Amino acid sequence: MKDRVRSLHTKARQQLRRLGEFRGIRRQAFGTYQKSVRRLYDGRRGSVLKFSSMISLHEPLMGKLFHSGRFDARRFDRILDVGSGAGQIVRHLLATSRPDTEVVGFDLSWEMLKRARERLQSDRPVFVAADMRALPFRDNSFDCVTCGYVLEYLPDPTDGLREFARVLRPGGIILLLATEDSFSGLLTSHTWKCRTFNREELKGAAEDVGLRWGRVHWFTRFHEVMKLGGILVELEKPAET
């Protein structure tokens, strides 16, 4: 009976997503869509991203995840932040990782990286602009990858997850934050022109590229009860045996 209820719930969410999700990502050629995303973030909406992240509480809540030690950045030597935007996650990585930890910020938009550099006022992070489907780094270059609400700009998540896994050292961790196929997620989908994810779908995509679905986080107990805040999970690249 529980399996039947779960199956019906899943189908209902899938139907909701088909009806309410931003469809441009699937209807346009990916190159055309990607250019529209770059224009979105290069423009006025991207210029206020740091403020909208504060108003929506996403940035303070992410900070709580790092500063509380629930995600301990001190254990890593080299961290890649994918989709750095206005430096929302990089800011917390600089504050909570060891002083000798190398932090690399990556984004599709040079304009966003310029804003992040100006905002952070630090010469410690290295910033690189390119496509997350073809990261300009060698295999096994990092022991941690963070990715906050960026994977949803790919129609197929395996294209990004495979690259994350490639540049991650065996035993490394990916901290992934993604927009879920909930009502609030659908609103985010239209605001920021991205897709949403079902948890089981995303878990399957991670496993397809050899990543293990690890510890699941919630911003607060309220978010867990109300199923808000999206998907926050640690993905693990198995250590070599």
User: Closest by alpha carbon to 195, among 11, 20, 21, 37?
Assistant: 21
Q: Which amino acid is at 146?
A: T
Q: Does residue 136 lie in a domain region?
A: yes
pTM of structure: 0.88
pLDDT reported for residue 113: 93
DSSP reduced 3-state for 153: helix
The total number of structural domains in the chain stands at 1
Which DSSP string corresponds to 176-223?
EEE-BSSHHHHHHHHHHT---B-HHHHHHHHHHTT-EEEEEE-SSHHH
pLDDT reported for residue 22: 78
Q: Does residue 123 lie in a domain region?
A: yes
Other C-beta atoms lying within 10 Å of the C-beta of residue 146: 29
Tens place of pLDDT per residue across the chain (241 aa): 545 544 544 555 555 555 567 777 888 898 898 888 888 888 876 666 666 776 667 788 899 999 999 999 999 999 999 999 889 999 999 999 999 999 999 999 999 999 999 999 999 999 999 899 999 999 999 999 999 999 999 999 999 999 999 999 999 999 999 999 988 888 888 888 889 999 999 999 999 999 999 999 999 999 998 888 899 999 999 997 5
Give the Å distances, CA to CA, from 220 to 2, 57, 76, 132.
Answer: 27, 12, 25, 29
Q: Does residue 139 lie in a domain region?
A: yes
Q: What is the CATH number of the domain that holds 107?
A: 3.40.50.150
pLDDT reported for residue 33: 86
Q: How far apart, in whole angstroms, are the C-alpha atoms of residue 13 and residue 16?
A: 5
Q: How large is the angle between the packed helices 110-120 and 88-96, nearest 10 degrees?
A: 40
Q: Does residue 241 lie in a domain region?
A: no
Range of the domain at 148: 2-236
pLDDT reported for residue 58: 78
Q: Does residue 128 lie in a domain region?
A: yes
Q: Does residue 204 lie in a domain region?
A: yes
Q: Does residue 91 lie in a domain region?
A: yes
**In angstroms, how far apart are the furthest CA atoms of the chain?**
57
Which DSSP string corresponds to 124-137?
SSEEEE--TTS-SS
Look up residue 178 and give its two tokens: 């993604």
